[in-house]
Chains A and B, each alone.
Chain A
């Protein structure tokens, strides 16, 4: 602190409190809406205080869902989301860390070609090649399956580059020592590199988990059966209905449940989250 100016401190608090309110407003409204009855939203303005229907709304969505809006029970969709998020995070980390290991610790022909192929993934976000990618997945018979949800999303240049940075900062003495001990590359990788990269892996895991959980377009397109729906993509299905009205109380109860897991991850693993976020972009 340069100097103590009570007025500026007060101003800072004011700005931050206002900021927090703005940031929290949508979630507050979702929480409130999830505790009301469905016809509370058809007349006048959205209520700003809690109602008494919370337990039944949540129980309904968790227990039976709304099959007439294509919503299986939320519990099951959360399981699908979890499988997808975990699959994506583990998959990305696994294939990126081995790639980075190969690129940093070996010299081999066409090394740069491999590097550029991985780099290309940065240039082709899924939104850009969505139609042909859908077709490839369909041709491979992977529609409506966990591999279809996960595998097309696990290639990652950012994760590979992150591990490349990490490995480049590892002292060469480690490698020398390992070689003198007669350790092969895989033993070195397993016993030295992996333990030393532990926090980087954990930080990346947090980011990738959020990324995977929050996927929207991809699951929306490739899940054709309600048994494979993920919760984030499922919410959208509830909001579009023909010749009738959206059931806001259920939509918001589902939204709250869909937000919960990544939110908990961010709040309780804040340190790893910040580390992961800052590192993946370096």
Chain B
């Protein structure tokens, strides 16, 4: 049976009459709200810049939903040409040889200019195989930074221009804020997994897993139950009990932004990619940016933070003319103008050196103090094997386990060591299962 008259048919007819027989390229993404509006603008501008291809972006829910939708679609042979997959899905995607079309190969096959060296090392490194080939196209990369409320700082008698640098200062500032009544909680954070576990490890130059955090192959296992992580989780529990810190939920921590916007919490650690939304919603107070805090008794801290966000993966099994269009689109997407604009509007990192330089030339960082906090943080030191990123299979579920065990810690049923040991034990089971599935 045929699908009856549908909205896409209308759109298709409209686009057909405008551009004769343009090839349609499906791009599934996870960018909602203001970010989604920007994604659509990018696609629209590309579509208007030429007449052979039409990129059709579709929002597919959050990162997890988008990735699982794409995998399900691939199994059903209904996959889009391009899908946005978040960084922790990288392990799963790389292992799926035969399902993915590596970007370096796509660009070469279609004779598009492509130079991996033009990308920021901290960004490109995350998505490069051991031979130095880039497998996916960096798009929105971010790193966690700290947003803070200068108005509340002032009320609490703190220097609004001297945000806490270390966790000890963080604790002290939070105490002052709560005791003075300037706000009911000192700080909150999005992403327990990404920010308070993975980035915490990289920032203190301690490993998350063996074999260079999984870059060395499928045999790698988790080892994030070391003294630094245990100490930090233990502190988080203590601070939660003291009311200095408020937990904002699993995954991205949906409740962190509202608590920060409502001035309930004076500080929030969250993705630099949330910058657009934070600026938009913090008109009632003065906003400040800072790097993540660190423990000054850990040697080598602060090292550099690792990225998060997502890249664009190309899936196999589409007609060749679509891939030619994808290659053209990627060239467009990584042009300094498009990247600089995306970076400046959203707060995501500029993924190429050229885009960073262009933003500097345009005077963006002078006009927006603090906006380069994220870049400075990932470039603070050259990445070590502990701070390049991480690459494990089934890591999406490992993140869920991290959340669950953190919740068990907060709920009081486990101590920090017990919770992190459980993360390692349960997580390694999933990683072993993944290894078995992919050998």
Contact = CB atoms under 8 A, between A and B. Distances in A.
Report A-B touching, CB under 8 Å.
Answer: yes
Contacts of B77: 138
Interface string A137-158: 0110001111100000000000
B105 interface: no
Contacts of B6: 227-228
Interface stretch (B110-118, B127-135, B269-277, B322-330): B269-277
Given A39-B281, A42-B258, A135-B75, A69 B35 contact: no
Contact of A224 (B1, B33, B78, B276): B78
A237 B33 CA distance: 12
Interface string A55-90: 000000000000111101000100000010000000
Nearest to B273: A243
B428 to A, nearest CB: 25
B7 A42 contact: no
Contact of B39 (A68, A147, A227, A240): A68
B61 A240 contact: yes
Nearest to A44: B262
A42 B262 contact: yes
B60 A147 contact: no
B179 interface: no
A243 B65 CA distance: 14
B35 A227 contact: no
A243 B274 contact: yes
A245 interface: yes
A70 B56 CA distance: 12
B69 A241 contact: no
Given A44-B262, A226-B58, A228-B6, A247 B33 contact: yes
Interface in B52-103: 58-63, 65, 69, 72-73, 75-78
B277 A69 contact: no
A146 B6 CA distance: 11
B32 interface: yes
Contacts of A69: 32-33, 36, 59
Contact of A68 (B32, B75, B274): B32
Contacts of A247: 33
Contacts of B31: 68, 242-243
Nearest to A139: B76
B60 A70 contact: yes
Nearest to B37: A68
B66 to A, nearest CB: 9
A58 B273 CA distance: 30
Interface in A182-217: none
Contact of B69 (A39, A135, A146, A224): A224
Interface string B243-275: 000000000101001100111000000010110
A43 interface: yes
Interface string A242-282: 11111100000000000000000000000000000000000
Contacts of A144: 3, 78
Contacts of B76: 134-135, 138-139, 143
Contacts, number: 113
A221 interface: yes
A154 to B, nearest CB: 14
Contacts of B188: none
Contacts of B30: 242
Contacts of A147: 1
Given A42-B257, A242-B31, A237 B271 contact: no
Nearest to A144: B78
Nearest to A221: B72
B33 A245 contact: yes
A147 B3 CA distance: 8
B32 A76 contact: no
A43, A147, A236, most chain B CB atoms within 10 A = A43
Contacts of B69: 224
Nearest to A142: B1
A6 interface: no
Nearest to B41: A68
Nearest to B1: A147
A225 interface: yes
B281 A242 contact: no
A145, A241, A246, most chain B CB atoms within 10 A = A241
B169 interface: no
B71 to A, nearest CB: 12
Nearest to B263: A43
A241 B1 contact: no
B72 A70 contact: no
B161 to A, nearest CB: 25
B255 to A, nearest CB: 10
Contact of B271 (A146, A226, A243, A246): A243
B8 interface: yes
A75 to B, nearest CB: 10
B4 interface: yes
B345 to A, nearest CB: 13
A225 B252 contact: no
Nearest to B33: A244
Contacts of A236: 61
A243 B262 contact: no
Given A76-B7, A143-B76, A224-B69, A68 B58 contact: no
Given A228-B3, A243-B142, A244-B34, 5 more contacts: A68-B31, A72-B7, A240-B32, A242-B252, A243-B274
Interface of B: 1, 3-4, 6-9, 30-37, 39-40, 58-63, 65, 69, 72-73, 75-78, 142, 252, 254, 257-258, 261-263, 271, 273-274, 276-277, 281, 284
Interface of A: 39, 41-44, 67-70, 72, 76, 83, 134-135, 138-139, 143-147, 221, 224-228, 236-238, 240-247
8 contacts: A69-B33, A135-B75, A146-B3, A236-B61, A243-B35, A243-B252, A243-B277, A244-B33
Closest 5 CB pairs of A and B: A68-B36, A241-B32, A138-B76, A70-B59, A244-B33
